Amino acid sequence: MGKTLTEKIITDHLLVGDFKKGQEIGIRIDQTLTQDATGTMAYLQFEAIGLPRVKTELSVSYIDHNTLQTGFENADDHAFLQSIAAKYGLYFSRPGNGICHQVHLERFGQPGKTLLGSDSHTPTGGGLGMLAIGAGGLDVAVAMAGGPFYLTTPEVIGVQLTGKLNPFVSSKDIILKVLEILGVKGGVGKVIEYYGEGIKSLTVPERATITNMGAELGATTSIFPSDEVTRTFLKAQNRADVFKELLADTDCKYDQHIEINLNDLEPLTAAPHSPDNIKTIASLEGMKVNQVAIGSCTNSSYIDLVKVAKILKGKTVHPDVSLVISPGSKQVFKMLANDGYLVDLISSGARILESACGPCIGMGQSPSTNAVSLRTFNRNFFGRSGTKDASIYLVSPETAAASALTGVITNPTKLEMDITTLMPDHFLIDDNMIIPPILNGDKIKVIRGPNIKALPVNSPLENQLKGEVLIKVEDNITTDHIMPAGAKILPLRSNIPEIAKYVFTSVDKDFSQRALDKKGGFIVAGHNYGQGSSREHAALAPMYLGVKAVITKSFARIHKANLINFGLLPLTFKNEVDYDKIEQGDVLILKDLILSLKTDSKIKLINETKNQEYELLSEMSNRAKDIVLAGGLLNYTKEI
């Protein structure tokens, strides 16, 4: 039987284990990326490992999240990251050069390579035929040190695309359709692999939109073949030399199969407050719109923004709408200016933001009270925009531009114009904002501002844990709920004692102080706990507050890995009905943990308050259990 594309790349990089579904494996990582919101902690962790230089083929440190400098903290972090890159042999992408995923696609991504990034949207690289995976910063630090990246051998979902998109229907509508089919939990433990005649009409940036937003499925990653479309893109980026054809075998078998006829698709949207709350644009036409935001790592390519410019050309944004546009990279920005499209955007009344993540992470441009905001972004979690009562709809650039002109949600297929945009034969290449590695960084002094604090380290797991339920939360709690983003909190990413004060503030403003007063305790949650970003602060800050275990119905992949990496015990209910029997404030006891974990024995949870007993599961590999027992990955690494 033939191999899927996923299996081919994994087996080519396999260092530990065998490609058997459900078993833990370790793979070699060729490239890494970090961004400044996660990078400071990742490099503090790399320093703790104690190596003089990164061991990957290529590692890049990007500045794209914390670019709003309202105090010294972000600028200090940037200086720290630049000095770290110089000392340890990384490329450094300066502020203003662009969003990490867009720039990496343009200038560094290579078909068939593995990429590990401390950002959940690292799978963007799958649009180039990479096996690109998002992870916590500590996993990235270990990969930079030459260690394997461990994951469960994934199932592979084959998504066959047939037909061709109609005018004003976009690749964003494809991934929204996949989200409608699978939901935000449907990709957990799986890779989404696209194939079929329909992919031939999708450019690499369009494919990257799909793989980028595959993160919202909970998937390990998403991937397209590397074919002539890939060759064309790389040639236009003056990187044809890295092209490599990579296709799944025609006789391969997928664990699950989905077929989507592109001819049948229509413009879609993800309605508040989840990326899988899919509605048709036609069903919402006429709804008043207050804000439109175009950009993010999902939809900020040259092709995306040229289509927007063509729709806006010669027209004016509706007086009740604020339109903001963020080009994805300096390359995109320069080409829009060079080709005259930037004038069309500015003339329409659009406000042009810098090439950075910006509004997508709540870094500015928060909507007004009770606003309806259409965004070409990838997430619309409650409160993520910075305005709790705003309604965020995720849409395509075409829908966003059409609606910005009318002031209401508008179906772009009704526009009578041609916005066909071809892939450029040549992109403007200018890497002057990328600082390459230097050969010898031994004498480089790392710059550390006063906001950069020492990395907290956990202690080995105790045999018995006793404490209160500090908080009980429902299904689909995101990392934005646990550790909010935004202009106020993001600058504290390198200062765990300070950022820990904001854990769960959007859910329960008293959580942090309660955890300190109670000297730690437990978190109880529903399904898919920790979905969303890779931010390891959602595990690290609760660890700092004394949380020892998180008990749920199920976990999101990256967050569970982060909990393990920092020595927090992730447990699930054997019987989900037991979740309903526990309340916040109940005193819980876990006994004989060390023996239970080492022998795979049943784990008993005693509810002392209610005089009840429940059975829990520790669904971890033996290696993961050893990491938790050691008090986290850093302790475990030092032990071995």
User: Which pLDDT tens digit goes with each residue over 342-353?
Assistant: 999 999 999 999
Helix 557-565 vs helix 622-630: angle between axes, to the nearest 10 degrees? 50
Q: How remote is the C-alpha of 411 from its chain's centroid? A: 29
Query: Among 533, 534, 554, 596, which one carries the catalytic annotation?
Result: 533
Could you tell me if 200 and 166 are in contact, meaning their C-beta atoms sit under 8 angstroms apart? no
State whether the Cα torsion 146-149-153-159 is positive or negative.
negative
Is 559 designated active site?
no
Q: What is the rounded CA–CA span in Å between residue 410 and residue 54? A: 49
The one catalytic residue in 13, 30, 61, 64 is 64
Cα–Cα dist 328/140, whole Å: 24
Residue 132 has pLDDT above 80, yes or no: yes
**What is the Cα–Cα distance from 143 to 80, expressed in whole angstroms?**
20
Task: Specify the pLDDT at position 353.
Answer: 95
Options 101, 207, 384, 535, the catalytic residue: 535
Q: pLDDT grade, residue 533 (50/70/90)?
A: confident
Active site annotation includes 379: yes
Provide the CB-side half-sphere exposure for 477 (13 A, CA): 29
The catalytically annotated residue of 30, 59, 65, 171 is: 65
pLDDT at 610: 96
- Do 117 and 200 meet the contact criterion of CB atoms below 8 Å apart? no
Q: Are 124 and 223 in contact (CB under 8 A)?
A: no
pLDDT at position 384 is 86
pLDDT at 3 over 90: yes
Asked whether the beta carbons of 221 and 131 are under 8 A apart, the reply is yes
For residue 207, which of 108, 132, 293 has the smallest C-alpha distance?
132
Active site residue 59: no
Please choose, from the candidates 104, 122, 357, 110, the residue with its C-alpha nearest in 3D space to the C-alpha of residue 219: 122
Specify the domain boundaries for CATH 3.20.19.10 within the chain. 465-635
Is 173 tagged catalytic? no
User: Which residues have a Cβ under 8 Å from the Cβ of 404 and sit 6 or more positions away?
Assistant: 289, 292, 312, 317, 318, 321, 323, 348, 350, 374
Is 535 one of the catalytic residues? yes
> What predicted TM-score, i.e. pTM, was given to this entire model?
0.93
| Nearest in space to 104 (alpha carbons), one of 93, 90, 120 | 93
pLDDT at 492: 86
What pLDDT is stored for residue 237 in this prediction? 98
Report whether CATH 3.30.499.10 matches the domain 5-264.
Answer: yes
Domain 465-635 part of CATH 3.40.50.12160: no
Q: Average pLDDT, stretch 9-13?
A: 98
- Whole-number Å distance between alpha carbons of 128 and 339: 25
Q: Is the pLDDT of residue 175 over 80?
A: yes
User: What is the structure's pLDDT at 413?
Assistant: 96
For residue 273, is the peptide bond before it cis, meaning its omega torsion is within 30 degrees of 0?
yes
268-414: what CATH class? alpha beta
User: What distance in Å separates the CA atoms of residue 193 and residue 123, rounded to the nearest whole number?
Assistant: 12
Q: Which of 152, 353, 359, 171 is nearest to 262 (CA)?
A: 171
Question: Which band of pLDDT confidence, cut at 50, 70 and 90, is reported for residue 640?
Answer: low
Tens digit of pLDDT for each residue in 61-88?
999 998 888 888 889 999 999 999 999 9
Among candidate residues 78, 379, 384, 514, the one labeled active-site is 379
Average pLDDT over residues 25-34: 98
Phi, psi of 394 (to 5 degrees): -90, 125
Cβ 132 vs Cβ 30: under 8 Å: no
- Residue from 77, 119, 173, 578 carrying the catalytic annotation: 119
Q: Among 358, 357, 257, 276, which residue's Cα sits nearest to residue 531?
A: 276
Strand 278-280 relative to strand 268-270, pairing: antiparallel
Q: Return residue ranges of the chain for CATH 3.30.499.10.
A: 5-264, 268-414
The span from the CA of 538 to the CA of 65, in Å, is: 17
Q: What is the pLDDT at residue 364?
A: 85
